[in-house]
Structure 1
Amino acid sequence: MLSINAKIGFIGAGVMGKSMAANLQNAGYPISVYTRTKEKANELVHNGATWKSSIAELAQTTDVIITMVGYPSDVEEVYFGANGILENAKSGSYVVDMTTSKPALAVEIYRNARERNISAMDAPVSGGDVGARSGTLAIMAGGDQEAFDTVLPLFDIVGENIILQGEAGAGQHTKLANQITIASNMIGVCEAISYARKSGLDPSRVLDSITTGAAGSFSLSKLAPRMLEGDYAPGFYVKHFIKDMTIALESAQEMGLSTPGLSLSLDLYKELAEQGDNDSGTQALIKLFA
């Protein structure tokens, strides 16, 4: 188990990462933070976090390093190379990538970390900005039981539904299954709202009826009201959902698995991005059904 004095390094302070780091900070852990754009970390630093000017400096001075960045290419940049985490983290430390990324990359990080006596886990999350702020994220972990048990106190602060799914890469595979589920569900939510409007119903009253029944989902209860309000602020970016779905589709194809719902959703979100909504929240999909 980690002591409350364990030094936590956090790389990435986006929509979700900033809230996750803040929750750890509020729980009493000393936090060091690095982001490519320092301004994104200003709030954390103002509240007592220590700013580090490089990944190497952060890695050399912390016991657990958590990464929450954008794309697999960002994960590679952060972990590998002379100035990356693995070349600079202390022997006996723990690294946890909570980015949604490629399962094969998670395995590569794990193997390279083990050669340096560093414990690595992949632990992507689900729950969006709401879950990140409230500390109720679902955490899907891959890696060794010992590493999981050690960092569990940190997971307990940022999440609620926390499950070790298996070996390295298992967390990423589980998150991709999560994204595949959401992909088709978002289409259904948009079609349901469009149907309610077309039939002359009040979509808000329809949501009151269907969110607690068999159709209930996070997308229906949390994102559908935003659709009705025309609120397209990102709890989770369209561009990042496209990234996730692309990884999931590639992984499915590698396994010889057909995923027609995923393929359709990916095509629709690409169309949405081409219309200028790359940086909108995923609920902006409703625009295509207006």
Structure 2
Amino acid sequence: MERSFTDQLGRVVTLNYPPKRIISIVPSQTELLFDLGLDTEVIGITKFCIHPIEKFASTVKVGGTKKLNIEMIRALQPDLIIGNKEENEKDQVEELMAEFPVWMSDIYTLEDAKNTIAQIGELVDKQPEAAYLNHLIHAGFTDLQTLALQNGIDKKVAYLIWRNPYMLAGKDTFIDHILVLNGLSNVVNEKRYPQVKLDELALLEPDLIFLSSEPYPFKEKHLEEIRNVIPRTKVMLVDGEMFSWYGSSLVKAVQYLFQLQNEIR
């Protein structure tokens, strides 16, 4: 039967329900679909959809999040494509929208993420499973906020996502919201992902500098070049998935962030 849903861009998406041939073009939402139990329904993913690894190995890849293989997607004949406004390219998504049901998310906060999990659960007929994930995420992040308050965590942080040029996660991002929930305030007031030079960053006097594992793969060797310019600030490598993946990985993020709070307090 046909059912219609409204996605997070306000578009009405009509599809055969429940969908049986799903393509996900966002890594965190791919992981969510598999965690909801859609082992056979997900027929296409991107080359960055690495979790769970056994599904990554056995599922058809349809290109990258920013460079989709449209012809391969057409050949798979999906009855649903699930994407995200920030992670996918508008022109490619609009091309797919002309031919297939495409449901888009648009996420900036933890509440947005929980709403997305619930909405995708309804979209794929897995409401109880989605509700359980949201229960775990809500309980875990409530405890994280409580712990941050109890331990008096109140530090200024710069969260670097790119090198050459250096780029930061700024305001109006999901990463920024996760930082705030853990007692951390962003040193930059610019929105989205501003560029910064290290001498400019030093003037902002962050207490902490986080080097994310993605999208740029910061390594130990990059710590020293920043410490040389900003020697009095603690510089740390952090797991970018734990700050930026907004699907079922948020369940895993809770334990990671508990440990991080203990390390920085």
TM-score category (smaller protein):
0.3 to 0.5
Structure with higher RCO (Cα < 8 A, 6+ apart): 2
Q: Greater strand share, 1 or 2? A: 2
Normalising by structure 2, we get a TM-score of: 0.44
Kindly indicate which of the two structures has a greater share of residues assigned to helix: 1
